[in-house]
Structure 1
Amino acid sequence: MASHWVKQGLTSSIMWNLVGSYFHGTAWYASSRLTAQEPWTGHYGSMSPVWATAHVTQFTKPGWDILEVDGGSGHLPAGGFYVTYADPSSGDWTLTIVKISADHAPCTRPALPHYEVAAENATFELRPWVKRSTLSVWYSNFEAFGADGRVDSLFKRLPDIEADGDNRFTVEVQPGAYYTISTITKGPTKGEPAAPVPASQPRMPLPYADDFEDYPVSQEAKYWSDQIGVFEVHHDGSTPNKVMRQMVPETPIGWWDLGTRGPMTLLGMKEWQDINVSAAFKAPSGGAGCLGTRANQMWETGITLCVFTDGRYVLSDGGPSLAGEYKGKIYASGKLPSPLPSSSFTSLSLTTVGGAAHGAVDGQVIFSSAPISDAGTGFAILGTNAWLPVLFDDARVEQAGPDWGPLAPACPAAEAGAALFARPCEKNGRVAEDQRFELLPSWGLRHVGSGLCAFAGSAAEGTRLSLSTCDPKDARQRLKNDYTTIRNSLQELTLEAGNSRFHLAGGFDGSVFLAAKRSADRLPRQVQSWDSWSFFPNTGQLRNQYDPNESMGYPRCLSTCKPTGSLPIVV
Structure 2
Amino acid sequence: YRMISFILLLCRFFTIAICVTDQYVLDDKVGLGRVFDGIGGLSGGGATSRLLVNYAEPYRSQILDYLFKPNFGASLHILKVEIGGDAQTTDGTEPSHMHYENDENFFRGYEWWLMKEAKKRNPNITLIGLPWAFPGWVGHGKNWPYDYPDITATYVVSWIIGAKQYHDLDINYVGIWNERNFDSKYIKLLRYTLDKSGLESVRIIASDNLWEPISLFMLLDQELRRAVDVIGAHYPGTTTVLEALKTQKKLWSSEDYSTFNNEVGGGCWARILNQNYVNGLMTATISWNLVASYYGELPFGRDGLMTAQEPWSGSYVVESPIWISAHTTQFTQPGWTYLQTVGHLAHGGSYVALTNGKGDLTVVIETMVCSALFAIDPLIVVSTYVLLGDLRAKLDGYKDTQRPTFFEKLSPLKLSDGSFTLNLGEDEVYTLTSLTSGLKGSFPDPPPSAPFPTTYKDDFNVANPPFTEAPDFADQTGVFEYHINLTDPGPHVFTLRQVVTQRPVTWATDADQTISVIGNYKWENLTVSCDVFMETVKTGGVFIAARVDKGGQSVRNAKGLFYWIFSDGSYKVTNDLASFSEAPSLLLLQGQYATGLLNGYPLWKNAVVLGPKNGWAAIGTKSFELAQFDNFAVKAE
TM tier, smaller = 0.5 to 0.7
Q: Which residue in the other structure is 1:85 paired with?
A: 354
Residue deviations 1:407-439 (CA, integer Å, cap 9, x gap): xxxxxxxxxxxxxxxxxxxxxxxxxxxxxxxxx
Task: Within 5 Å, give how 1:343-382 maps onto structure 2.
Answer: 347-382=584-619
Q: Which residue in the other structure is 2:503 paired with?
A: 251
Q: Percent identity?
A: 29
Q: Which residue in the other structure is 2:311 paired with?
A: 39
- Give distance in 2, aligned partners of 1:3 and 1:103: 18
CA shift, 1:72, in A, is 2.5
Q: Which residue in the other structure is 1:209 paired with?
A: 457
- Give distance in 2, aligned partners of 1:29 and 1:42: 18
- Give distance in 1, aligned partners of 2:483 and 2:632: 15
Alpha-carbon contact 2:547-2:612 (below 8 Å) kept: no
Residue type of the partner of 2:577?
G
CA shift, 1:278, in A, is 0.7
Q: Which residue in the other structure is 1:134 paired with?
A: 394
Q: Which residue in the other structure is 2:368 paired with?
A: 100
Q: Which residue in the other structure is 2:542 paired with?
A: 289
Q: Which residue in the other structure is 1:157 paired with?
A: 409
Alpha-carbon contact 1:56-1:96 (below 8 Å) kept: yes
CA shift, 1:256, in A, is 2.4
- Give distance in 2, aligned partners of 1:234 and 1:292: 22
Name the structure, 1 or 2, with higher relative contact order (CA <8 Å, separation 6+).
2
Task: Within 5 Å, give how 1:26-425 maps onto structure 2.
Answer: 26-67=298-339, 71-88=340-357, 90-103=358-371, 118-130=379-391, 132-142=392-402, 151-165=403-417, 167-184=418-435, 186-193=436-443, 195-201=444-450, 203-214=451-462, 216=464, 219-238=468-487, 241-257=493-509, 259-283=510-534, 284-285=536-537, 286-295=539-548, 296-297=550-551, 298=555, 300-320=558-578, 325=581, 347-399=584-636, 404=637
- Give distance in 1, aligned partners of 2:461 and 2:280: 51
- Give distance in 1, aligned partners of 2:566 and 2:322: 49
Residue type of the partner of 2:531?
A
- Give distance in 2, aligned partners of 1:393 and 1:152: 47
The DSSP-based 3-state class of the residue aligned with 1:20 is coil
CA shift, 1:375, in A, is 4.4
Tell me the C-alpha RMSD between the 2 structures: 2.1
Residue type of the partner of 1:305?
Y
CA shift, 1:64, in A, is 1.2
CA shift, 1:211, in A, is 0.9
TM-score norm. by structure 2 comes to: 0.52
- Give distance in 2, aligned partners of 1:249 and 1:118: 61
- Give distance in 2, aligned partners of 1:238 and 1:196: 48
**Structure ranking higher in helix proportion:** 2
Residue type of the partner of 2:383?
A
Alpha-carbon contact 1:294-1:380 (below 8 Å) kept: yes
CA shift, 1:180, in A, is 0.1
Residue type of the partner of 2:440?
K
Residue deviations 1:228-267 (CA, integer Å, cap 9, x gap): 111100113535611111121211122322x433000000
CA shift, 1:169, in A, is 1.5
CA shift, 1:215, in A, is 5.5
- Give distance in 1, aligned partners of 2:299 and 2:486: 34
The DSSP-based 3-state class of the residue aligned with 2:516 is strand
CA shift, 1:41, in A, is 1.3
- Give distance in 1, aligned partners of 2:497 and 2:512: 17
- Give distance in 1, aligned partners of 2:487 and 2:280: 56
Residue type of the partner of 1:81?
S
CA shift, 1:153, in A, is 2.1
- Give distance in 1, aligned partners of 2:380 and 2:283: 27
Residue deviations 1:325-383 (CA, integer Å, cap 9, x gap): 28xxxxxxxx9xxxxxxxxxxx4111111110010111110001011125421000001
The DSSP-based 3-state class of the residue aligned with 1:49 is helix
CA shift, 1:300, in A, is 1.5
- Give distance in 2, aligned partners of 1:178 and 1:44: 24
Q: Which residue in the other structure is 1:9 paired with?
A: 281
CA shift, 1:23, in A, is 1.5
The DSSP-based 3-state class of the residue aligned with 2:354 is strand
The DSSP-based 3-state class of the residue aligned with 1:66 is strand
Residue deviations 1:154-212 (CA, integer Å, cap 9, x gap): 111111113212x222222211100000111x22121211x5412222x2112111111
Residue type of the partner of 1:238?
T
Residue deviations 1:262-303 (CA, integer Å, cap 9, x gap): 000000121111111111111112111101111021161111
- Give distance in 1, aligned partners of 2:597 and 2:497: 22
- Give distance in 1, aligned partners of 2:569 and 2:316: 46
Alpha-carbon contact 1:84-1:96 (below 8 Å) kept: yes
TM-score norm. by structure 1 comes to: 0.58
CA shift, 1:220, in A, is 0.4
Question: Which runs of no fewer than 5 residues in structure 2 stay unpaired?
Answer: 1-272, 373-377
- Give distance in 2, aligned partners of 1:138 and 1:316: 57
Alpha-carbon contact 2:481-2:497 (below 8 Å) kept: yes
Residue type of the partner of 1:55?
H
Alpha-carbon contact 2:477-2:511 (below 8 Å) kept: no
CA shift, 1:91, in A, is 1.7
The DSSP-based 3-state class of the residue aligned with 2:453 is coil
Residue deviations 1:68-118 (CA, integer Å, cap 9, x gap): xxx221111111111112102x220100001111249xxxxxxxxxxxx95
- Give distance in 2, aligned partners of 1:278 and 1:136: 60
Residue deviations 1:525-556 (CA, integer Å, cap 9, x gap): xxxxxxxxxxxxxxxxxxxxxxxxxxxxxxxx
The DSSP-based 3-state class of the residue aligned with 1:222 is coil
Higher mean Cα deviation, 259-268 or 348-357?
Answer: 259-268
The DSSP-based 3-state class of the residue aligned with 2:412 is strand
Task: Within 5 Å, give how 1:518-529 maps onto structure 2.
Answer: none
The DSSP-based 3-state class of the residue aligned with 2:502 is coil
- Give distance in 1, aligned partners of 2:508 and 2:352: 36
Alpha-carbon contact 1:133-1:162 (below 8 Å) kept: no
- Give distance in 2, aligned partners of 1:253 and 1:119: 54
The DSSP-based 3-state class of the residue aligned with 2:312 is coil
Structure 1 255/215 Cα, relative in aligned 2: closer, same or farther at 3 Å?
Answer: farther
- Give distance in 2, aligned partners of 1:239 and 1:133: 73
- Give distance in 2, aligned partners of 1:123 and 1:394: 68
Q: How many residue pairs end up in the alignment?
A: 349
- Give distance in 2, aligned partners of 1:394 and 1:234: 13
The DSSP-based 3-state class of the residue aligned with 1:19 is coil
- Give distance in 1, aligned partners of 2:445 and 2:327: 24
Alpha-carbon contact 1:95-1:182 (below 8 Å) kept: yes
